[in-house]
Amino acid sequence: MLQQILHDMYIDPELLAELGDVQKHILFYKMREEQLRRWKERETWEALAQDEGLRPPKTKRAASDKHIQWLLGADGEVWVWIMGEGPGDKPYEEISEELIAERARLQAQKEAEELWRQKEAEITKKFRDALANEKARILAEKWKVEMEDRKAAKVLEERIHEEFKRKEEEERKRGEEQIRLQEEQRAKELYWTLKQAQLHCQDSEKEEREWEEQ
């Protein structure tokens, strides 16, 4: 797939949208390398054409082929920017590290929000049902013993209501703390997974360069 993309210098937008940030940076880096290789090849042919009167080979392209039109600089040549080497740019490693950490944080945050929505719904239902059952029990008890002091019954109901409200708030806090800890743990797990994927990709690139240099 990568070789086909580099050959066509084109990637379908839907496929591009499915790639992660790190994968996109790696792909664009590879495409810039291929762009520079073709540009140097063209310069070589132009030099030969001037010295020996040769014509550079023309690549036939079907009418339906898609291609990329590269941005040109003020000198008319292809404009090239290498991430991490421009004026004011952060080092590539630092940019990559920030991208991985941010991606892990956002993913963990998204998962934590979903977990908290589920947890909150469970807590709300649990205490709503418990309170309804308790109210029903109190009402039945009131009628059973024919309580004359309705004010005392109201006070009792309010006290029980406050007690359940307090317990609900305590469990909410425990639930929030549990979700927060899970979010932090998930962020660390995602970070190391993405970091290992990046290192594996870098090792693969290194092996590929060493193989090409042999």
Reported confidence tier of residue 185, pLDDT bands at 50, 70, 90: very high
Task: Give the three-state DSSP class for 72.
Answer: strand
State the Cα–Cα distance between residues 211 and 214, nearest whole angstrom.
Answer: 5
- Section 73-84 average pLDDT: 60
Amino acid (1-letter code) at residue 24:
K
Determine how many CB atoms are found less than 10 A away from the CB of residue 157. Answer: 15
pTM of the model: 0.38
Domains of the chain, residue spans: 2-80, 102-213
Torsion of CA 163, 167, 169, 171, to 10 degrees: -170
- Alpha-helical segments (H) within the chain: 2-8, 13-18, 21-52, 92-145, 150-213
In tens, the pLDDT along 106-148 reads: 889 889 999 989 998 888 888 888 888 888 888 777 777 766 6
Both tokens of residue 140?
Answer: 């039945």
Predicted pLDDT at 5: 81
Q: How far apart are CA 124 and CA 129, in angstroms?
A: 9
**Arithmetic mean of pLDDT over the chain:** 78
What is the phi-psi region of residue 19: left when phi exceeds 0, alpha when psi lies from -120 to 50, beta otherwise?
beta
Question: What spatial distance separates the first Cα and last Cα of the chain, rounded to whole Å?
Answer: 24
Q: Is residue 177 very low, low, confident or very high in pLDDT (cuts 50, 70, 90)?
A: very high
pLDDT confidence band for 211 (50 / 70 / 90) = confident
List all residues 6 or more positions away from 130 whose beta carbon is below 8 Å from its beta carbon.
Answer: 164
Query: What is the residue type of 145?
Result: V
